[in-house]
Chain A
């Protein structure tokens, strides 16, 4: 598994009087297969995971993935780190399903045949076979999220970061996404409010007010989080 190293990272949003610290001196090294992140709204989870592919540059400290700095080697890092967001509509770029999956491969040095082959394989793997030429906007929410996932996974990232991928989905669709995530061989960092998704995870971080306040296995971390939430 890749080694994610977050060293003395602090980050704030806003300027002057409106300046608010969102991450406070976070230090952590992650090498496990499945890593979960939980915490209250606004505790800094999304900010933290956006550091992992250089979407956010930390005000202080460094973030590296397998030794590559996410700011200095941002391009290389983004080729290896796939990112799946909450809102599937905002992640789909192309008008039809197969085209969106193929889009991620456009800038890779692949022959046309290879591109088509990989696209076909991804369609099958994520149950989108019958929808290859369907307009993306006619898919259900769960299918859209599966498409967003497929479009990221077809580029074969070493690490997949997911920021609340099931928040907008119903139970059935959330279960579909969960099955895909459970079957992934690569390293996964998952932010979620659906605590049952974390069953079987190797490590769970609990965020509170910009700090990691618990770092344990899923059962222990989730009960610590519940206690924290209960005040």
Chain B
């Protein structure tokens, strides 16, 4: 097996130390937020909540979940994330594989055409008009189709595809496989890590997006969870600012006496992000070393 020298041991020791420090510094705020989300808001406001809630309550969550459409929104989000990610990764990686071909006529122009869109855009209003004219308003497909091709992802895919051993492709060609066959039989199976990475990025983008629905969807049934949560949170925070105004909003504030904007923000963050965060550990197995080589040898 691999032997370590003293220098190696020192280096590895330092690495463990640094990583532990980094992990703790990134973990604590998140854990603290979790503790706050389970603590009575006004009690939190006294300060001093660190690792565990002091006055345990589910009130924050019950306000976050007060919107009956939340479950439906969750469904919309899951559907859009899965469909959007699968289709986008498939379409973009096919595009990228085509773009790796040197013999592809026009590939330089195609690349330029793609890259320009990363910097120049027409802005919201022309896009809105386009979406409307295409009949995508209030349609599930407005989440999927406009973002199907990501030039940025295409560039990363292409870089990874180019790094794959050439020999395999050559031998497949000799066996009589066409380019599409090679893509599906050789390239895709070999690209576990990059597919996992970009699928994760795409899924996160889909999950977190509240803006597209806020513009193109006015049918409440199609709003994803992020949009609903964002609105609920903003509305509850505003109560504390509006309550001087009239007796009705004062009454509303009284209803959520123990809750503060901070405790609500934390509970909302947990509900909004935990599902997507939970995906990562499953993606990690694609990063295990040797996946690529192992499949190459078969």
A, B from the same assembly: no
